[in-house]
Amino acid sequence: MRALAPLVLAAAVLAPGLTRAELENEVKAAYLYRFLSYLEWPPPDLDGDGSPFVIGVVGADDVYEALREIVQGRSAQGRAIEVRRLKEGDDTLGVHMVFVGRAAAGSLGKMASRKAIVVGEVEGALERGAAINLVRTADHVRFEVAPQVAERKGVRISSRMLSVAARVETGAP
């Protein structure tokens, strides 16, 4: 399938003015948006009235900015999406998913004890209570998941998402 402009291979390398870090952050933000379609929250965390999803971002301003751009005009499972910039120690009441950036990795453990699904971006984040971790391989951003951590918060991760995950933490000791 040559779904690729001949001309375009040149473009394949990278989009303009895009530094590595920028693209990495944007891909991470896109993941956060995508995950919403593959997670099932129980009522009343997500009630039937079409109230919006709330994603909190702490310690990652670039991801926050990119995510705000991505969710504009978009919805997930028929719900609007709200993005909140949080500070370490902020209340996460009503937040469905919180991204804990590298700069705030110290608060992973504290966040993990709360209701929201925690997404990390540092090595070992799953072991520190995150349900999802975005990991940078040599060239790509992949994700690993700990379905049991999510389940303890009543959230089911779809099998589809598990099949794409780079690693599924089984929780066995």
Partner 1 sequence: MRVLVLLATMALLAASRARDLGDLSLEQLSNVTVSSVSGRSEPLSHALGSVYVISADDIRRSGATSLPEALRLAPNLQVARTGNDGWAITARGFNGPFANKLLVLQDGRSLYTPTFAGVFWDAQDLPLENIDRIEVISGPGGVLWGANAVNGVINIVTKSSDDTRDLLVTGGIGDEESRVVAQFGGDVSHGTYRAYAMTTSLDDSPHDRLQGGFRTELGTPRDRITLQGDLYESGDLHGGNVNLLWTRNIADRDTLRVQAYYDATSRSQQHLDTVDLTVDHVLGARGPHGILWGAELRRARDNIDNDPATFSFLPETKVLNSWAAYLQDEVAFGKAFVGTFGARVDSNEYTGAEFLPSIRFGWHPDGEHLVWAAASRAIRAPARFDRELFLPGAPPFLLAGGPEFQSEVFYVYELGYRGQPSEALSFAVTGYYDDLDRQRSIAPGAAGATVENDLEGHQWGVEAWGSYRVLESWRLYAGYDYLDRTLRVRPGAVDLQPGSSIGSDPKQWAKVRSALDIGKRLELDLMLRYYDRLENIDVPSYVAVDGRLGWNVLRRLELSVYVRNIFDDAHVEWSPGEELGRSYFVKALIRF
Considering the rule CB under 8 A, would residue 141 count as an interface residue with partner 1?
yes
Considering the rule CB under 8 A, would residue 102 count as an interface residue with partner 1?
no
Considering the rule CB under 8 A, would residue 144 count as an interface residue with partner 1?
no
Considering the rule CB under 8 A, would residue 2 count as an interface residue with partner 1?
yes
Mark residues 10-49: x for contact with partner 1 by CB under 8 A, - for none. xxxxxxxxxxx--xx-xx-xxx-xx--xx-----------
Which run of H or of E encompasses 80?
strand 79-86
User: Distances from the Cα of 156 to the Cαs of 22, 45, 85, 160, in angstroms?
Assistant: 31, 13, 25, 11
Structural tokens at position 33: 């948006």
Nearest to 121 by CA among 23, 26, 28, 34: 28
User: Distances from the Cα of 155 to the Cαs of 33, 57, 86, in angstroms?
Assistant: 16, 19, 22
State which of residues 132, 143, 144, 149 lies at the interface with partner 1 (CB under 8 A).
143
CA gap 163, 127 in Å, rounded? 20
Considering only 8-16, 99-107, 118-126, 145-153, which stretch makes contact with partner 1 by CB under 8 A? 8-16
Q: Binding residues for partner 1, per CB under 8 A?
A: 1-20, 23-24, 26-27, 29-31, 33-34, 37-38, 50, 66, 69-72, 74-75, 78-80, 136-143, 158-161, 163-164, 166
